[in-house]
Structure 1
Amino acid sequence: MKSYLKRGFGLLFALLMIGGLVPISVSAATSPNVSYQTHIENIGWEVDAGIGLKSNGEISGTSGKSLRLEGIKINLDNQGYDLGVSYQTHIQNIGWEANTERGWKSNGDMSGTAGLSYRLEAIQIKLTGSDADKFDIYYQVHVQNMGWLGWAKNGESAGTAGYSYRLEAIKIQIVPKGQGAPTETTAIPFHEKKLIDGNLLINSSSNDFNENAFSLEDVEISNNSGDGGIVLKSGTQSGVYTSNPFKTNPFTKLVLSWSSDTPEGTSIQVEARVSKNSWDSNGQLTENWSNWLTWGTWGTTIQRASGTGITDDSVAKVDVDTLVVSGGETASEIQYRVILNSNTSGVTPIVRLISGALRNTIPGQGINKVFTDNPDLSNLKVLDVPQLSQMVRDPSIADSICSPTSVAMILNYYGTQVQPEEVAWGAYDYSYEDFGNWPFNTAYASSFGYQAYVDYSTIDGLKREIAAGHPVAAAVAYKNSDYADGDLPVIDGAPITSTYGHLIVVCGFTNEDGTDYIIINDPAASSDAGVRVMYRLDQFAAAWAESGNIAYIIH
């Protein structure tokens, strides 16, 4: 089945310490002077407008006036040092200049545009020359909707490349190497990237969405939907929620899933971008972020489709429902955003949960599952999950609806009366032309008010769900004897000869004569009565591992 701020720019307060750990201050005269001016919307170049040059930490631009910066020029009075300055900006409709024929600018050249009304969205500045290692160049930007960000230095990205937010002002200062960022600042601290413990990110409450918000564009967090949800602001028909970046264990695969309500005429798009860490020619650690990659457009009343948007670039690609990091490498940061759309003012979709399941397929680098509880997993009961065979359903689709049939069994167990065909067409991916899109199946389950998401789980994870009274759908691949074709794990007694991708429902566990078994509803059985089967636990584990231990969690 089948970026954002470059840094969290928390304020840097490293102090140069000498004799007895007493901090010293270094006067501006000991460092080269930096002067700069910006081209401001409705104003033009500051020198031409009579505002004049700014220097050594002074503010160039405006704040509180919503005027974009369109260009910048930077000069040094190097005071005899072999020192220069290079810089590039991220420009609306153009991107980073270094990625175009424009290239880096230096020593008073204009970076950006004049007369095109294009906003600057981010900037990178670095020192050049043989004395560059004696100084740090710090810069701080004022960003639309965010205010002053923390200080960046020595080529780091300051701003929001990829978010379409304008830069409105900038301060630049040079200090002796290691002295640290200027201490006098009006910056608001940017949230540090949180570390996801284990292999599962879940945001599912008002606190989660508020605490982890990078930006809210025409959306707000409502407390009127269970634990909370993302909704459109009153009077708007489109909006975007963007999360802060999250640090993660290194991963090769990511599955995003969501719980949502999408009334008629509404839809959502769920996207993420990921970062691979790499080292440049100078041995400096850099972050290499992907584009925003999409899981498609979802809604219960539309022709939902994966692949509607950007699905791949040099960093990663989304294969229907799974993001795969390119080049056999790993990523270690993620950031998600949700785009909400409505055809009617006053009618909004609601996003109640966003989940990201992580997997590392490199041998020896798997991500451990982290549980915060310690339930009693002995003497587990067998859940009375209704038995539904896909094979006795609509003949035109019967052999393709194992996933919807598994979801239907779980929903009926909870008391939601729904037929496999209803789930099948409710989760159908009109782009992939298939019923097996993992997050589309859990999103459909969530449309009845449940919390549902895709997880890379473990046997202990399944037992925890059973202990709490929750059946789980699990993705497996198997053959039913050693004599069947295919390099697949064997499950004795399976109802079909072989399958390379199949969903079944875990209903319980038992032990007979010293052998552990798992109780399964396998929708591939030829009749409803034959759906309940008992598989050896070790054989099930091998078959489940073929999918990376994919599970549908529905509560």
Structure 2
Amino acid sequence: MRDLRRGSTMWLVLIVDRARVALTRFTVPSVSGDGWTSDEHPIGFPATQLVPSWTARTPPGSWIEVELQAVTAGGRRTRWYVMGRWSEHGEPRTSVAGQGDGDGDVAVDTFVARQPVSAYRVRVRACGPGARVEELAVLASALPAPPPEGSPPSGLEPVELDVPALWQHAHAGHHPEYDGGGANWCGPAATAMVLAYWERGPEDLAWVGAGCPAPAVDHAARGTYDSSYLGTGNWPFNVAYAGTYGLRGFVTRLRSAAELERLTAAGIPVVASLSFKERELPGAGYSTSGNLIVVTGFTAGGDVRVNDPAAPDGRVRRVYPRAAFEHVWLRSSGSGGIAYVLHPPELSLPESDGNW
């Protein structure tokens, strides 16, 4: 479980006529010495949040650090903020709390600006031998409230991707040192489902213990655990974990269910982050301050097919009404449409409007 409210009320979020989102992917050369720093990258609109994500390989004893520096609307550069220290082996695998100042703060994995920013630079440091970044992306966004009417169905053929269904509550009490066990493992369960769909995943599972219904979920919990946040819901850490098994990926914001339809129609399941009260999402049967689910397709009528690992009755495969799903997912009091996309590097993504 990821509490989407954590850190989200500290700064003013700019409300604009429509969602403004830009995802930029950077080519990172071999990182050594003082590391690699991008050129100053203009965003093209006043942004209020920045989220980097990456895939990397870090042999034992090595790790990477990812930092961001924003440029205010007046052209002044902020200081550098640490957005994550990552090792696929842990030690370190941590966000960095307590970085707030007059320009903004880091809420786990998101730089939240006090005032809108116009540009940024990203920096990567490699520590130890052999660490390399395979893919680096930065999401810049400003959030509106979603349109109350939602988006109409796209008219695409209905689809249901054959994503294995994994239930986080089947892991209750497992390895509580990683965010308390199964009740909080929506992120690891969602990531493990997508890895299994792409026929990827870990082999070193003997340590999980006998009788586990899906050892890959326990492994993903260990592999995504953020030792500062004390949780497994760090979005970039889930992407980076999947990257250790050959997938590429990024965190982005989508503007509508129609964009989800385009991705699932291309055979790509999407992990979406949302929060809701039970009454707001018919068929859910529970309330959550933050949940990660896998969108697996759409019905002929445009409703959303999902694998929901938090389903209280164990029926992971569900269909949620399109308008209700879109509302609780896109609203700025929740995640604002946050999703992460994981795919094999040889698979081309469908055309986008700048957010993948």
Return the TM-score normalized by structure 2.
0.78
Which region of structure 1 is more displaced relative to structure 2, 355-364 or 446-455?
A: 355-364
Residue identity opposite 2:194 in structure 1: I
Alignment match, 1:507: 296
What is the SS of the residue equivalent to 1:416? coil
Q: Which residue of 8, 29, 36 maps to 1:241?
A: 36
What is the SS of the residue equivalent to 1:275? strand
Please list, as runs of the form range in 1=range in 2, the aligned pairs for 1:149-548 lying within 5 A after superposition.
198-203=21-26, 208-209=27-28, 221=29, 230-232=30-32, 238-248=33-43, 249-278=45-74, 287-303=75-91, 304-307=93-96, 311-326=99-114, 329-342=115-128, 347-361=129-143, 378-395=156-173, 396=176, 397-418=181-202, 419-458=216-255, 459-481=257-279, 490-496=280-286, 498-512=287-301, 516-526=302-312, 528=314, 530-545=315-330, 546-548=334-336
Distance 1:506 1:499 in 2: 17
Contact 2:260 2:270 in 1 (8 A): yes
* C-alpha RMSD of matched pairs (Å): 2.0
Alignment match, 2:213: none
Distance 2:230 2:145 in 1: 33
Deviation at 1:295, TM superposition (A): 1.1
Contact 1:479 1:494 in 2 (8 A): no
Could you say if the C-alpha distance between residues 262 and 289 of structure 1 is closer, same or farther in structure 2, counting changes exceeding 3 Å?
same
Larger radius of gyration: 1
Alignment match, 1:53: none
Could you say if the C-alpha distance between residues 363 and 494 of structure 1 is closer, same or farther in structure 2, counting changes exceeding 3 Å?
closer
Please list, as runs of the form range in 1=range in 2, the aligned pairs for 1:19-168 lying within 5 A after superposition.
none
Alignment match, 2:206: none
Deviation at 1:525, TM superposition (A): 1.9
Segments of 5+ residues of structure 1 without an aligned counterpart are 3-196, 210-220, 222-229, 233-237, 279-286, 365-375, 482-489
Identity of aligned residues (%): 33
What is the SS of the residue equivalent to 1:252? strand
Q: Deviations over 1:103-154 (max 9, x none)?
A: xxxxxxxxxxxxxxxxxxxxxxxxxxxxxxxxxxxxxxxxxxxxxxxxxxxx
Distance 1:460 1:403 in 2: 23
Deviation at 1:495, TM superposition (A): 3.5
Q: Deviations over 1:275-307 (max 9, x none)?
A: 1123xxxxxxxx121101011210011231110
Distance 2:291 2:145 in 1: 24
Contact 1:389 1:526 in 2 (8 A): no
Residue identity opposite 1:318 in structure 2: V
Residue identity opposite 1:517 in structure 2: D
Deviation at 1:416, TM superposition (A): 1.7
Distance 1:261 1:417 in 2: 15
Could you say if the C-alpha distance between residues 432 and 478 of structure 1 is closer, same or farther in structure 2, counting changes exceeding 3 Å?
same
Q: Which has the higher helix share?
A: 2
Distance 2:275 2:234 in 1: 16
Distance 1:323 1:290 in 2: 12
Contact 1:290 1:314 in 2 (8 A): no
Distance 1:242 1:527 in 2: 48
What is the SS of the residue equivalent to 2:303? strand
Give the number of the structure with larger relative contact order, counting CA–CA contacts within 8 Å between residues 6 or more apart: 2
Q: Deviations over 1:146-197 (max 9, x none)?
A: xxxxxxxxxxxxxxxxxxxxxxxxxxxxxxxxxxxxxxxxxxxxxxxxxxx9
Q: Deviations over 1:216-245 (max 9, x none)?
A: xxxxx3xxxxxxxx344xxxxx44000000
Could you say if the C-alpha distance between residues 276 and 536 of structure 1 is closer, same or farther in structure 2, counting changes exceeding 3 Å?
same
Distance 2:316 2:116 in 1: 40
Contact 2:21 2:139 in 1 (8 A): no
Deviation at 1:392, TM superposition (A): 0.5
Deviation at 1:526, TM superposition (A): 3.9
Distance 2:288 2:252 in 1: 21
Alignment match, 1:371: none
Contact 1:523 1:531 in 2 (8 A): yes
Q: Which has the higher strand share?
A: 1
Deviation at 1:420, TM superposition (A): 0.9
What is the SS of the residue equivalent to 1:408? helix
Deviation at 1:379, TM superposition (A): 0.2
Distance 2:300 2:277 in 1: 23
Distance 2:70 2:112 in 1: 10
Deviation at 1:198, TM superposition (A): 4.8
Residue identity opposite 1:408 in structure 2: A
Distance 2:144 2:281 in 1: 26
